[in-house]
Structure 1
Amino acid sequence: MNMILRLSLITLLSVVLAKTYGQVELRTELIGSSRYTNGSNIKTTDKGSAKVFSLNAKIPLSVEVDENQKPVKVWGLGVAAEYTTFSNGKIADVFGPDKIVNANLSLYHLRPMSEKWSILATLGVGVYTSHTDLSKVGFHNLMANGGVIFVRHIKNNLDVGLGPVINTLLGYPMVFPGVYVKWKTNGDYEVNVSMFNGLEASAGKRFSEQFKLDMVAAFNGSMALETKNNKKLMFTHQYFYTGLQPEINLGEGWSISAIAGLAAGRTAYYQERTLKSIFKSDDNVHHPHFGAAPYGSLSLKLDF
């Protein structure tokens, strides 16, 4: 997954064709300790782990619904905040920051163009730092982002979209292609696949209105924008996880879920904020990374 695109589109992914008017989710993630492989591709005896605390919300400002009470024209605010902290023992001095703080605020708009087409647009700005001191946040920590996605409703359970997305990671606007795919089955057995320059997938069974059990797989990550030795750098932390997720419906729009599984691996490294650095491909470059580790998460969600 391309972290640059993911951070630009995180709000879009959470609001496209949602069944609810609004949503707030609090989540805690724990990635267990695993061995560290350095930039020379040498597997060391040192280990590291990570914890992630996040808040994601979409807050409707104006909603128009159809005869089935499904939102068809929506104006709203997207809020995303994430705090990542690392426990890296002996490698702390050479690893990078000991924490990452990301926060993004976006205005989004969803509306139908025809029976088969919808358009989703968003514009926002985010702060991406390696500290929690607001007085030290500078212009180099900010990144504007946005996009316009044209979504084709191929079937009742299949949507495909394409459009330009923009961010200012390099200090000026850059345009990237945004691809959106969402497929879902209905009934007691549910399958969900969502791709928006990343992947989220789940398959499971709904046992009742109050309980379902899924096997899930997804990417996640965060980024810190820094300036060191007069160079603009970004530190990215990315990981892929899979596991079992029980979900309990508490009523009144509230639900709680947990995941127990495996983080198959995670990368963590610096690179320059230049066009050449971002798009270069070199088979001899080995990004520092951690091996597989236990993964667990707990989340509380409110749909309204």
Structure 2
Amino acid sequence: MKSILCYLFFFIPLAYQQTHAQVYFKTEYISSTSYKDEENKLSGAKGDLKVIQGGFRIPLSVKMNENNRPTAWAIGCGASHASMNNKKLPETLCPSDMLNLQIGLTHTRPLNAKWSMLATVGAGLYIDSDNLSKARWDNILGQGAIVFIRHLRPNLDLGVGAALNNTFGYPMLFPAFYFNWRLEGRYEVNVALIDAVRVSVGMKFNNHLKLSLVAEMDGMMALSERNGKKMYFTQQYVVVGLRPEFTLGKSLSIPLTLGITPARSAFYSKRSLKEYFSDDDESDPHFRLGFYCSLGIAWKF
């Protein structure tokens, strides 16, 4: 089954448990590797990936209750641009540039001592950069979700709900899940299923340096049309690596990640539910293992 998980639930994490504003910027690079087709054969093509992204999250109102849980409204906005230096890989299989723009509104409130509710609504533009001047409604993806979160322990939250979007060209409901488990102190562990799967194990050396082993998923998408048919292109990648994070003062952090991408899928597919759940023996077209590095900066205020 072709996965577009990180787009189905993109807006879920915009502001949950966040009581401060944040501006962030990040740049990523994945080295050029060989491309395998649907039959899992080398095609002679290869390509790299460069991503620049940034955005902000701003709480509009926050009120904490006696259990230190917020009733909050927040707005988030993000932009990502990806460029791919593809060789011997035609545009019909993989575009050279993509642009994603998103905006979302999130509301969270405690229902009682054990339960909270998280609701979010938003929209985004997902397009090949070469066709930016031809952007239309078919390139807009609307999304919404509501999740009910059970606070099982002070460091363990589990939630389930429903998400609504028009990925397949018409509004559809999908299940939405939320999971967050964390250990804090000198040694930190975090396992989260929010917008994607993210796992980190780290150690704080002091107030200015933390080193973590991370495994996480990210990606981008473009909605387009090929031969009169509505299509989407998705490029998703798994990152495994080491992340030193430098903290300056109480508000500025600079994470640097060095590692590998053991999986990086890249393919076009029809915008239809039947195609998404099609059961065939073909594998998703993908790039082979590559080197990964990223540099980010986040400012809380």
Which category describes the TM-score, using the shorter chain as reference length?
over 0.9
Which is richer in helix?
1
Q: Aligned partners of 2:272, 2:11: CA distance in 1, in Å?
A: 25
Q: Aligned partners of 1:2, 1:96: CA distance in 2, in Å?
A: 16
Q: Aligned partners of 1:218, 1:14: CA distance in 2, in Å?
A: 17
Q: Is the 8 A contact 1:154 1:160 kept in 2?
A: yes
Match of 2:155 in 1: 157
| Percent identity between the two aligned chains | 38
Q: Is the 8 A contact 1:11 1:80 kept in 2?
A: no
Residue 8 of structure 2 corresponds to residue 11 of structure 1 = no
Structure 2 matches for 1:7-86, cutoff 5 A? Answer: 7-18=7-18, 20-66=19-65, 70=68, 72-86=70-84
Match of 1:297 in 2: 294
CA deviation after TM superposition for structure 1 residue 79, in Å: 1.1
Q: Aligned partners of 2:131, 2:25: CA distance in 1, in Å?
A: 22
CA deviation after TM superposition for structure 1 residue 62, in Å: 1.1
More displaced 10-residue stretch of structure 1: 91-100 or 195-204: 91-100
CA deviation after TM superposition for structure 1 residue 197, in Å: 6.2
Going from structure 1 to structure 2, the CA distance change for 1:82 and 1:71 (only over 3 Å counts) comes to farther
Match of 2:127 in 1: 129
Question: 3-state SS of the aligned residue for 2:88?
Answer: helix
Match of 1:219 in 2: 217
Structure 2 matches for 1:78-97, cutoff 5 A? Answer: 78-97=76-95
Q: Is the 8 A contact 1:2 1:198 kept in 2?
A: no
Question: 3-state SS of the aligned residue for 1:89?
Answer: coil
Where structure 1 has 5 or more consecutive residues not aligned to the other structure, the ranges are none
More displaced 10-residue stretch of structure 1: 75-84 or 241-250: 75-84
Match of 1:274 in 2: 272
Choose the corresponding residue for 1:120, options 104, 113, 118. 118
CA deviation after TM superposition for structure 1 residue 78, in Å: 1.5
CA deviation after TM superposition for structure 1 residue 39, in Å: 2.4
Q: Aligned partners of 1:235, 1:170: CA distance in 2, in Å?
A: 12
What are the superposed Cα offsets for residues 251-293 of structure 1, whole Å, 9 maximum, x if unpaired? 14111010000011201001100110012221x2222111100
Q: Is the 8 A contact 1:21 1:63 kept in 2?
A: no
CA deviation after TM superposition for structure 1 residue 128, in Å: 0.5
Q: Is the 8 A contact 1:37 1:44 kept in 2?
A: yes
Residue 181 of structure 2 corresponds to residue 201 of structure 1 = no
Q: Is the 8 A contact 1:21 1:71 kept in 2?
A: no
Going from structure 1 to structure 2, the CA distance change for 1:146 and 1:92 (only over 3 Å counts) comes to same
Q: Aligned partners of 1:107, 1:287: CA distance in 2, in Å?
A: 33
Q: TM-score, normalised by structure 2?
A: 0.95
Question: 3-state SS of the aligned residue for 2:38?
Answer: coil
Going from structure 1 to structure 2, the CA distance change for 1:142 and 1:57 (only over 3 Å counts) comes to same
Which amino acid letter does the alignment assign opposite residue 268 of structure 1?
A
Q: Is the 8 A contact 1:213 1:245 kept in 2?
A: yes
Structure 2 matches for 1:137-148, cutoff 5 A? Answer: 137-148=135-146
Task: Report the number of matched residues.
Answer: 301
Choose the corresponding residue for 2:187, options 186, 189, 204. 189
Question: 3-state SS of the aligned residue for 2:40?
Answer: coil
Match of 1:262 in 2: 260
CA deviation after TM superposition for structure 1 residue 7, in Å: 1.6
More displaced 10-residue stretch of structure 1: 188-197 or 120-129: 188-197
Where structure 2 has 5 or more consecutive residues not aligned to the other structure, the ranges are none
